[in-house]
Amino acid sequence: MAGYLDFAGYTGRCALGVAMLVIASVAHGADAGVRPDAVLLGQSAALAGPAAALGTEMRDGALAYFHVVNAGGGVNGRKIELRSLDDGYEPDRAAANTRKLIEADGVFALFGYVGTPTSQAALPILTAAKVPFFGAFTGAELLREPFNRLVFNLRASYFDETEKMVDHLVTGGKRKIAVFHQNDSFGQAGLSGVENAMRRRNLKIAAAGTVERNTTDVAAAVKTIGAAKPDAVIMISAYRSCAEFVRQAKKSGMVADFLNVSFVGAKALAGELGAEGYGVMISQVVPFPWAQSIAVVKEYQRAMAASFPKSALSFTSLEGFLAAKVFAEGLRRAGRDLTRAKLIAGLEALRDYDAGGFSVAFSPTSHNGSRFVDLTMIGKDGKFIH
């Protein structure tokens, strides 16, 4: 089946098998995707193409946790199975994947989508079908306002991230701030965050330049932003376009700080930039993946070593791991008689949940689990420092 990637044991089930799955679920009085011994989740993410590192790391981090849970018998006797489809970070493909996961595959919930435009494309589909949507790798406000009881955000918002960056820069005396952003809903979300943070300080953005999604044509943006001679450039795009902007900006003689929101994919960005990455900053919404003093980080490192021993640790796979852990806790609190309504209630009961050094708080009126933001920098040899 073209575009079909399966990483949880569902290898090539035929249409009859899917139909039997749905019939079995109905027979047991449960929502779609629930069997006596398993629960099926669906994910659409970039698993190939220019943003593949983001989707792959998010998926692998989640699977590392699910493997641990499943080895222990699952949650309330059910193993968690994740069906992942590639969307190439393109909204149309994400929409098609979402319809397939809901209508053909009969998933119980959607989990770990990667990107703002792809999540935006899925939102009306999942809302109409009343399928929960958990832990998307995006900080966009469109998943936060207006409130949607089906949508749960684990991470801090782009508004939180850009506020942290602007505060850091202005406190350090750097007030001439430009923005390089992707020309889509993701880029607009980040741009709005910077504008809001600047407005609170009676400042305006010095210049702005754009790049099209899944491209690296940044020459015009470099020229526009360079003409303003900014102290710093806040960047809201994927890792390849951001890396190309930094390279061309430095080559043009631009002297500025370069800062990226977490979606860029810190490890992938460092890999793309090589030696030119030194000093580039990235805001993060999860703890430092190498900080063994943090309980959940140690847990994550053990799980990744067991499931993906050849994969380097990263902020993105840690986010996938955390999303999987929090989701599984919601499943546990939903109880054995699992329904989507009980999952939502179980997640909303996580009022002050400690995932092991990372706090999450949901409620019936707020599904934004965390506002944690940290600033990191690419150091020598591509390693990260606070």
Q: Give the start-to-end residue ranges of the domains of the chain.
A: 4-156+294-372, 158-284
Virtual torsion, Cα 206, 192, 163, 374, nearest 10 deg: -110
Residue 340 reports pLDDT greater than 50: yes
In 3D space, the residue among 148, 134, 102, 140 whose CA is nearest the CA of residue 324 turns out to be 134
CA distance 66 to 195: 39
CATH homologous superfamily of 158-284 equals Response regulator (3.40.50.2300)
What residues does 34 pair with on adjacent strands?
Answer: 39
Mean pLDDT of the chain: 93
Q: What percentage of residues in the chain have a pLDDT greater than 90? A: 91
Extract the runs of DSSP E, i.e. beta strands, from 140-280. Answer: 151-152, 177-182, 208-211, 232-236, 257-260
Q: In this structure, how many other beta carbons lie within 10 angstroms of the beta carbon of residue 367? A: 22
Which of the four pLDDT bands, split at 50, 70 and 90, describes residue 84?
Answer: very high
What is the CATH code of the structural domain delimited by 4-156+294-372? 3.40.50.2300
Closest by CA to 36, choosing from 51, 21, 50, is 21
Cα-flanking dihedrals φ and ψ of residue 106, to 5°?
65, 50
Give the Cα separation of 92 and 88 in Å (integer).
Answer: 10
pLDDT at 71 over 50: yes
81: which strand partners?
A: 40
Which pLDDT value is given to residue 381? 84
Distance CA 355, CA 287 (A): 11
Same topology, domains 4-156+294-372 and 158-284? Answer is: yes
Task: Answer yes or no: is pLDDT of 16 > 70.
Answer: no
DSSP one-letter code for 311: S
What band does 100 get if pLDDT is binned at 50, 70 and 90? very high
Q: What is the pLDDT of residue 272?
A: 95
Per-residue model confidence (pLDDT) at position 101: 98
Please determine, for residue 247, whether its predicted confidence score (pLDDT) is greater than 70: yes
pLDDT at 6: 45
Please determine, for residue 4, whether its predicted confidence score (pLDDT) is greater than 80: no
pLDDT tens, position by position, 272-323: 999 999 999 999 999 999 999 999 999 999 999 999 999 999 999 999 999 9
pLDDT > 70: what percent of the chain?
Answer: 92
Q: Is the pLDDT of residue 231 over 60?
A: yes
Is the pLDDT confidence value at 169 over 90? yes
In this predicted structure, the answer to whether residue 21 has a pLDDT above a threshold of 90 is: no
pLDDT at 382: 86
The phi and psi torsions of 144 (rounded to 5 degrees) equal: -115, -35
Amino acid at position 39, single letter = V
Main-chain phi, psi angles of 211, to 5 degrees:
-140, 145
Classify residue 339 by its DSSP letter.
Answer: -
103, two tokens = 């209508």
Tens digit of pLDDT for each residue in 344-357? 999 999 999 999 99
